[in-house]
Amino acid sequence: MRIPSGRGTAPETLDVKRTRHSAEHIVSNLREADAMLTTGWSVAQIVRALGVRE
């Protein structure tokens, strides 16, 4: 993915590397998040703890 660099008016772009997570890693994170929810964690706390982002 390429995004505008935001510097000046030049049409420069920065390369952004995207990583893909394995299905096992995603399932592990979902299970961990579910356990956190049942123990009273808020969604915001879980997102921060797991390092999830869009």
Number of domains in the chain: 1
pLDDT tens digits along 17-31: 767 889 999 999 999
Is 28 within a domain?
Answer: yes
Is 15 within a domain?
Answer: no
Residue type, 12: E
Question: Do residues 35 and 46 lie in contact, with contact meaning Cβ atoms separated by under 8 Å?
Answer: no
pLDDT tens digits along 1-52: 555 656 665 556 666 676 788 999 999 999 999 999 999 999 999 999 999 8
- Give the whole-angstrom CA distance, residue 11 versus residue 34: 44
Parent domain of 42:
20-54
**pTM, entire model:** 0.60
Is 41 within a domain?
Answer: yes
Is 11 within a domain?
Answer: no
Is 52 within a domain?
Answer: yes
